[in-house]
Amino acid sequence: MRKSTAPARAAAPAGADDAIVVRPVRRADLDQVIDIDATVTGLEKRKYWASVFRRYGSAERAEQQFLVALQGGRVVGFIIGEVRDWEFGSPPCGWVFAIDVDPRARLGGIGTRLLQAISERFRSAGVRQLRTLLALDNTLILSFFRSQGMMAGPLISLEMDLD
Ligand SMILES: CC(C)(COP(=O)(O)OP(=O)(O)OC[C@H]1O[C@@H](n2cnc3c(N)ncnc32)[C@H](O)[C@@H]1OP(=O)(O)O)[C@@H](O)C(=O)NCCC(=O)NCCS
């Protein structure tokens, strides 16, 4: 086998305060997740987050993922997603339905690390495709997903009022 001649990337020093760690969420992280969401959306939704934690917070299920990024021991971002089997007529596919990085920690690669981490877990669950839905006017999240290689897919969303 040919040895790679590419220079090795400098590894972050172990235990460095600014090293980013991504791991499954724990109950003790929830207050910080709620704070980040409230900062970004302007709404504090404690009941909602307790329910998301119950559904997605078990590190045992590869199909449901709720991951947090920590920097200096503080939660600075999270990502949530799940594998959907044969819904919308598609083979099993990994869906990302929430990603948020603390505004004070943005543009430092944390969103990228979160998306990579959930992608690795979905790959381990046998999934080969990643999808998400986003608001048309959310250019920030669109720029982010485009930077990660995501492009317009074959589905469109439809909706109507039920009143
Ligand atoms: C989108 C978001 C997750 C990105 O997190 P982040 O940690 O700042 O992202 P990264 O540092 O990994 O950025 C990766 C790339 O995304 C793109 N990007 C990120 N922020 C950007 C911005 N403000 N403007 C343009 N491009 C941007 C860039 O291409 C960037 O690569 P570069 O730094 O080499 O230019 C973060 O801005 C966020 O939480 N926004 C609010 C999300 C939201 O609306 N959530 C609700 C819907 S789920």
Question: Alpha-carbon distance 82 to 130, whole Å?
Answer: 10
- The ligand 1 atom at the shortest distance from the C-alpha of residue 143 is 26
pTM higher than 0.75: yes
| Index of the ligand 1 atom closest to the CA of residue 132 | 48
Q: Among 1, 58, 75, 48, which Cα is nearest to 24's?
A: 58
* 95 confidence band (pLDDT: 50, 70, 90): very high
The 10s digit of each residue's pLDDT in 115-124 is: 999 999 999 9
Q: Which residues line ligand 1 (CB under 6 A)?
A: 40, 98-101, 106-112, 138, 140-141, 143-144, 147
User: In this predicted model, what pLDDT tens digit does every residue of 27-86 receive, in sequence order?
Assistant: 999 999 999 999 999 999 999 999 999 999 988 888 999 999 999 999 999 999 999 988
Tokens (6 digits) for 8: 């090795």
Nearest-CA residue for ligand 1 atom 23 is 140
Residue with CA at minimum distance from ligand 1 atom 22: 140
The tokens describing 154, both together, are 């074959």
Q: Give the C-alpha separation, 69 to 141, whole Å.
A: 18
Q: Which residue has the tokens 């791991």?
A: 23
